Structure 1
Amino acid sequence: MKAVRTIYCTAFCGVKRVASGLVGDVAVAVKGLVDSGQPVAVFEEATSRPIEIDFRGSVEDVRERIEAAPIDGPVAEEGEPETSGEARGRGRPRLGVVAREVTLLPRHWEWLSRQPGGASVALRRLVDAARRENASLDRRRDAQESANRFMTSMAGDQPRFEEASRALFAGDAEQFDALTQAWPDDVRDHSRRLAAAAFAAV
């Protein structure tokens, strides 16, 4: 997990890229635009998810809220000690485990029940193995989704957007560049930079 203040992001005012950097620095850089009523969108660099920033008050108020935002600590794996300075009370240690429903056939539950450590440990091992085996595919999919998320938000009304999105997921970099050529410069260049990570992972 990461602290809010360590998120790297990029801000657009309309179709113009106006700031990039840590979220606190970007917030300070664009506050004047926001206060003047101009449309500003801030995107997390890694995922292109929009970042909601509370711009109320002074520049100092904005930065203080970002700096004071809660920090999610690392999730401890089973068998690892917790590293926070908090004294742990009685009972089972926190393992970062999230309980959710899993639907399997009887033969699957039977096989899992015979594995060392039980069903939960076996499932975690299977997931970890799959993550390692599919790491390159996951990186490609993540990059594609990030690029497409930004494009949908900032270029959804641009010419040939649908074709460009298909070229992105098809891994056709040359076609993608040709289809995005007429887009506003900053939107086009940012889309291409995000897409480059997807094409590189093919």
Structure 2
Amino acid sequence: MNNPISPLPADPHTAFAGHRILAAGALSDVALAVRQAMDEGHDATILVFDDLSGKQVDLDLSGNHAAIAERHRVRIDPAAPAPEAPASLVDDAQPRGRGRPKLGVVAREVTLLPRHWDWLGAQPGGASVVLRKLVEQARRDNEAQDRRRERQEAAYRFMSSMAGNLPGFEEATRALYANDHERFTQQIAGWPEDVRGYAMGLAWGAPDEAAAG
């Protein structure tokens, strides 16, 4: 019988001992692996990174293993509100009476030119409905660009910490922000294998995603 595939942790992290990956997984598991390495007298510098943001993470390894695991365990609030439905779905539903805003809507001041207000006021549903639809459309249109920028920033954070003194760092950074996958690969070819692979994963994701991007 095939073993079920373990789900990815909600808080994926990776620990490096020098330029080699020491552990990867949920932060609590990584923290325990780091503590064990320290207890065993591991002499390499150990750094931990958030796999989603590329940010370096500080650990509190005081106490016993149970305390360390609990301290670094992700806590999910069961009462957290569900994601709001897209405006295009919500606002095309039954019309609501004036003065009864949908739950979850936040009122803030918006400054526009008079001609903008005139145009919004002439649209079906009123200004608020149209603005929400415009924002949702802009989010969809820029989703790929926003995701690429987030990946670039994550990769740069990691590279600055782990590869700032490695050959080709500056040229690799230029290639990263130019979204030049081929040149980036060439510039980091001489880096330690784990550092190279992790940087590539942050910058371009899985190999199939990199090919698509």
TM tier, smaller: 0.7 to 0.9
Structure-2-length-normalised TM-score: 0.69
Pair 120,148 (structure 1): closer, same or farther in 2 beyond 3 Å: farther
The answer as to 2:29 corresponding to 1:22 is no
Partner AA of 1:159 in structure 2: P
The answer to whether the Cα contact below 8 Å between 2:27 and 2:73 also exists between their aligned partners in 1 is no
CA distance in 2, matches of 1:120, 1:16: 52
RMSD: 3.3
| Aligned sequence identity (%) | 45
Q: Which moved more, 1:161-170 or 1:69-78?
A: 69-78
Q: For 1:59 and 1:106, locate their aligned partners in 2 and report how far apart those are by CA, in whole Å.
A: 63
Match of 2:189 among 181, 184, 193: 181
Please say which structure displays the higher CA radius of gyration.
2
- State the distance in 1 between where 2:129 and 2:61 align: 45
Cα distance in 2, alignment partners of residues 59 and 149 from structure 1: 29
Per-residue displacement from partner, 1:137-194 (whole Å, max 9, x unpaired)?
2332232222222212211222221110111222322221221122222212211233
Aligned-pair CA distance for 1:20: 0.8
Q: Secondary structure at the match of 1:67?
A: coil
CA distance in 2 between counterparts of 1:185 and 1:127 reads 42
Instruction: Give the distance between the partners of 1:147 and 1:188, measured in 2 at CA.
Output: 11
Aligned pair in 2 of structure 1 residues 160, 123: CA closer, same or farther (>3 Å)?
Answer: same
Contact 1:137/1:201, CA 8 A, preserved across alignment: no
Q: Which runs of 5+ in 2 are unaligned?
A: 1-8, 91-100
Preserved contact between residue 13 and residue 39 of structure 1 (Cα < 8 Å): yes
Where does 1:41-56 land on structure 2 (aligned, <5 Å)?
Answer: 41-56=47-62
Counterpart for residue 98 of structure 2: none
User: Take 1:118 and 1:136, find their aligned partners in 2: how far apart are those partners?
Assistant: 30
Counterparts of 1:121 and 1:113 in 2: how far apart (Å)? Answer: 10
Report SS of the residue matched to 2:150: helix
Counterpart residue type for residue 49 of structure 1: K
Contact 1:140 1:199 in 2 (8 A): no
TM-score by length of 1: 0.72
Contact 1:8–1:44 (Cα < 8 Å) also in 2: yes
Residue 12 and residue 106 in structure 1: after superposition, are their counterparts in 2 closer, same or farther (change >3 A)?
farther
Tell me the matched-pair count: 187
Q: Which runs of 5+ in 1 are unaligned?
A: 80-91
